[in-house]
Amino acid sequence: MLDVSLESVSFRYDDFALRDVSVTFAKSMHTAIVGPPSCGASTLLRLIAGEIRPQRGQVRIGTRVVNDISASRRPLLYVTSGLDVSGRWSVHHALVNAVRGRTLDREDRFRELSLTASKWQLEPLLERRISTLGDSERARVHIARIELLKPAILVADRLLAGADAAAQLQLADDFYRALRIMGSTVISAPASTAELGLSDAIIVLDRGKVIQSGSAAHVFRSPVNEAAAVATGQVNVVPVTISGHRVASAIGEWTLERAPFEGSGVALARPDDFSVAVAGEDSDLIFGIEEAAFQNGQWIARGLLTGGAAIRIALPRHFPIRKGRLIALRYDPASFTLLPREEGDQPNAMRTDVLPSMKETR
């Protein structure tokens, strides 16, 4: 298998630019590229795939510079969430088309197709036309075709974006596990932050620059800035002011042994950094539930604090959820990440959580 590297790659169009990106994607490893909207992840993947060419710098696959090699001649498979086959084809035809591209005899092709169809639960769909499939069914056909193609390098841009949210993570887990067994080099822009735990490493882009890299767990707990924190999951962005060893914020005040900076900044607080105060225990905040969604075995509730600031907190799966319910909360500010305010940020009132409104609410 081959690694992929970019050396001082730049690309500009309209008001967006990738600037001097240098990064290596290790062979037989899964690297996820994440960042806020318009960070440049899709552009970076297209540069690797040969869909567009860098205006400066080099793209290498192994030791070979591939800047002038067309997309069709690069030893990789580039995929998006769209299933690139005719809607008139049957599922069986789509799978046969994929396995036919490999040097297997007829018996081996039939065996691989049958095993793959069984693995991804496609037997009941084999005679159906692609155009009649639901989103999750189409996603299963898509990843089955990719597995049959056995790519040495897979470049995937939001591959599972069309799948049902409930099935998305399980599909991703099974699929990337299969690619790891094959030894494929995987470079992906994931469809959701839940997929990040399935990767070996992540690279965070912001405004066309690499701002952080490392394991998902490391970036999740030690983001270098707000963009890196948001890119790896839910986060509350709380404006703070530090004076000496004292921190003042909309959620309260606390003292630091050693202040990381002086003046205006933000505290990045994950939903699970807050806990429900038990009976008889002093509380730090009073939180009123506005809406909630059940995610990954727990409730993520959005609500208001005394004074009108909005945050999201994690609650146990058996916690009684009711709109308007008031909850006494505790938090340990040592778990927050404190960062100086970035250039261009305005010291307005406390921002609400960066995520969009929840669709599944109670």
| More confident call, 196 vs 346 | 196
Q: Is 120 exposed, middle or buried (0-12, 13-18, 19+ CB in 10 A)?
A: buried
- For 154-189, how does the pLDDT look when each residue is reduced to its tens digit (9 = 90+)? 999 999 998 887 788 899 999 999 999 999 999 999
pLDDT-based confidence at residue 342 (cuts at 50, 70, 90): low
CA distance 6 to 121: 38
CA distance 150 to 186: 12
Residue 251 and residue 331 in contact, taking contact as beta carbons nearer than 8 Å: yes
Nearest to 130 by CA among 182, 78, 83, 80: 83
Instruction: Locate 313 and state its tokens.
Output: 């907190």
pLDDT-based confidence at residue 63 (cuts at 50, 70, 90): very high
Give me the domains of the chain, ranges plus CATH numbers.
4-214 (3.40.50.300), 234-340 (2.40.50.140)
Nearest to 269 by CA among 316, 211, 230: 230
User: Above 70 in pLDDT, residue 362?
Assistant: no
Cα(first)–Cα(last) distance of the chain, in Å? 48
Strands 209-214, 30-34: pairing is unpaired
Residue 91 and residue 125 in contact, taking contact as beta carbons nearer than 8 Å: yes
pLDDT at position 359 is 43
CA distance 300 to 81: 27
Query: What rounded mean pLDDT belongs to the chain?
Result: 89
pLDDT at position 296 is 78
pLDDT at position 59 is 97
Mark out the alpha helices in 131-271 (DSSP H runs): 135-149, 165-182, 216-221, 226-231
Percent over 90 (pLDDT), the chain: 74
- For 260-313, how does the pLDDT look when each residue is reduced to its tens digit (9 = 90+)? 999 999 999 999 999 999 888 888 999 999 999 988 789 999 998 877 789 999
